[in-house]
Structure 1
Amino acid sequence: MPAHPPVSGPHLKLAALLGLAGALATLALMPYAMVLMPQQFAAAPLPLPVIVLQAVVETGVLCWLLGWLGLRLGAPYGLDAPWLRAWVYRRPRDPAWHSRWWLAGLLGVAAALLVAGLSLLGPQASAGHAHVAIPAWRGALASFYGGTVEEILMRLLPISALIWLLARGNRRVARPWMFVLAIVLAALLFGIGHLPAAHAAGQLGTPLLIARIVLLNAMVGVACGGLFWKYGLEHAMLAHFCADLVLHVALPLTGPA
């Protein structure tokens, strides 16, 4: 049984809002990305404004189209963005949907602190791949990308698609174990999705380092996936945003200079 009743109705306008949010979040990410991957930007054959515009447009369109697909596949099983839907379509929110904004924020902060603590254990990056110090304001801007683009592409779409596929083999009925499996698989995919950026930043080394990056990011993914299932996409977005604020703003400000 889904955590909430199935959702019917249009999705294109809501997906367009997700696309706009994704485009703006990508624009906000650029100051962070330019410090994290300076060589890639320096070696790019196009002028910086063109690179930024291309990334913003491409990500916005991707979030719009794949967000629509995720809503279309997941909404019949209660996987939706109910608060944004009510606002976009000027409809009263279904009373069956409950909010736990405080829980989303708390889980995001807790997951980030757990990741930060566990990252101190085990193998560390070599001295030649030292961690890049990024100003907190750039980290704050980058947090919008995680809370929007990554939740649309790495949570809304894969979980909805997996539930749709699993339910088709069960007379279109989604069982709780299907949601759990989809959340875990999407979380692992989310962790793997961080490897290209880590490689570009020179943070990959041994297989243990790779596994740690995947598993630590997957921990955040499981927390956000559970919130998406139980309370809607907006709760997952808030949790992810809070986690990134801790990892990219709070901890750098409190850590050694």
Structure 2
Amino acid sequence: MTSSQPQLRTALLIGTASALAALALLPYVLALQPHGLDKYPVAPVIVIAAQFVVNGVLCFLLAWAGLKLGAPLGLGAPWLAATLYADRTRPATANWLAAALLGVLGGLVVIILVTRFGQPLAGAAAHTAEPAPWQGALASLYGGIVEETQLRLFLLTLLAWLLLRARLQRPLALAIAIVAAALLFGAGHLPLAAKLAPLDAGIVARVIGYNALLGLPFGLLYCKRGLEHAMLAHFSADLVLHVVAPLAHSL
């Protein structure tokens, strides 16, 4: 087995999971934008198939790059690699419950902030439908798998690799990379926000701020425990925000 095989096969698994997660996101997106597929000049099934393929291929490539760059830095997906390869030792430490609870806590903190500073898209609620809890549950898979692959496994790893090559000390390089990836994670939600409501300073601040606040512990978990812990925390936070909170609001 060559040294690149674990990275290749792990990346293929992540890419496949990402493609499926992109399909799972579709009901949530269509609830927010019921006519979102009408703007394309081809049949909806072709658009959906294209999104499946594009997301899968993109996340495969990003995962492979992140795994290769992260290997010498001690960053990556150690639990997936150990599961795929019998000759690879499982990491010595893990705390899945703590990761899940950290995600739940992050989601609760965001809910508290929303009650104080308002919804990310304040004023847009009257013009958009509220996705059902089951749609929110499916969308949580996208956040946990696709967004963590893009933002933590690839982007955070790339930033850390570049900063270390610039001769920054490892703790400082990782800290900067965690913060930068969290901010970009927040900014990455602005295109969808812009489709739902005109952007202003308040909306931009809330969208970036709420998401960046969650991105910080996700990045820390990635650096300390591996991608899988960050994925679990992200999934747990999204379940609180997109399933538990809507259910509680409907009572």
TM-score range relative to shorter protein: over 0.9
Task: Tell me if structure 2 keeps the 8 A contact 1:163–1:174.
Answer: no
Q: Deviations over 1:72-127 (max 9, x none)?
A: 111211111111001112234244x4101011001100101111111222355226
Structure 2 SS opposite 1:156: helix
1:212 maps to what in 2?
206
- Greater alpha carbon shift after TM alignment, 129-138 vs 78-87: 129-138
What is the distance in 2 between the residues matched to 1:199 and 1:39? 16
Report whether the alignment pairs 1:105 with 2:105: no
Structure 1 SS opposite 2:93: coil
What is the distance in 2 between the residues matched to 1:206 and 1:93? 50
Pick closer, same or farther for the CA change 1:61–1:127 going to 2, 3 Å: closer
What is the distance in 2 between the residues matched to 1:153 and 1:159? 9
2:27 maps to what in 1?
31
The Cα of 1:174 is off from its aligned counterpart by: 5.0
1:61 maps to what in 2?
57
In structure 2, the gaps of 5 or more residues are: none
Pick closer, same or farther for the CA change 1:78–1:39 going to 2, 3 Å: same
Return the letter of the residue paired with 1:113.
L
Report whether the alignment pairs 1:256 with 2:250: yes
- Greater alpha carbon shift after TM alignment, 118-127 vs 65-74: 118-127
- Tell me the C-alpha RMSD between the 2 structures: 1.9
What is the distance in 2 between the residues matched to 1:167 and 1:127? 43
Return the letter of the residue paired with 1:49.
V
The Cα of 1:9 is off from its aligned counterpart by: 6.6
Pick closer, same or farther for the CA change 1:115–1:128 going to 2, 3 Å: closer
Structure 2 matches for 1:126-137, cutoff 5 A? Answer: 126=123, 130=127, 132-137=129-134
**Kindly, what percent of the aligned residue pairs are identical?**
47
The Cα of 1:182 is off from its aligned counterpart by: 0.3
Pick closer, same or farther for the CA change 1:252–1:123 going to 2, 3 Å: closer
**Which TM-score applies when normalising by structure 2?**
0.92
Task: Tell me if structure 2 keeps the 8 A contact 1:8–1:76.
Answer: no
Runs of 4 or more consecutive aligned structure 1 residues displaced over 6 Å after TM superposition: none
1:73 maps to what in 2?
69
Structure 2 matches for 1:1-257, cutoff 5 A? Answer: 10-95=6-91, 97-122=92-117, 125-126=122-123, 130=127, 132-170=129-167, 175-202=170-197, 204-256=198-250
Task: Tell me if structure 1 keeps the 8 A contact 2:124–2:196.
Answer: no
**Which TM-score applies when normalising by structure 1?**
0.90
Pick closer, same or farther for the CA change 1:206–1:89 going to 2, 3 Å: same
Pick closer, same or farther for the CA change 1:30–1:167 going to 2, 3 Å: same
Q: Deviations over 1:17-47 (max 9, x none)?
A: 0100100101111111111122332222221
Task: Tell me if structure 1 keeps the 8 A contact 2:11–2:61.
Answer: yes
Pick closer, same or farther for the CA change 1:132–1:24 going to 2, 3 Å: same
Structure 2 SS opposite 1:39: coil
What is the distance in 1 between the residues matched to 2:233 and 2:87? 25
The Cα of 1:256 is off from its aligned counterpart by: 3.3
What is the distance in 2 between the residues matched to 1:200 and 1:38? 12
Pick closer, same or farther for the CA change 1:229–1:32 going to 2, 3 Å: same
Pick closer, same or farther for the CA change 1:252–1:133 going to 2, 3 Å: same
Return the letter of the residue paired with 2:113.
L
Task: Tell me if structure 2 keeps the 8 A contact 1:123–1:208.
Answer: no
What is the distance in 2 between the residues matched to 1:19 and 1:253? 31
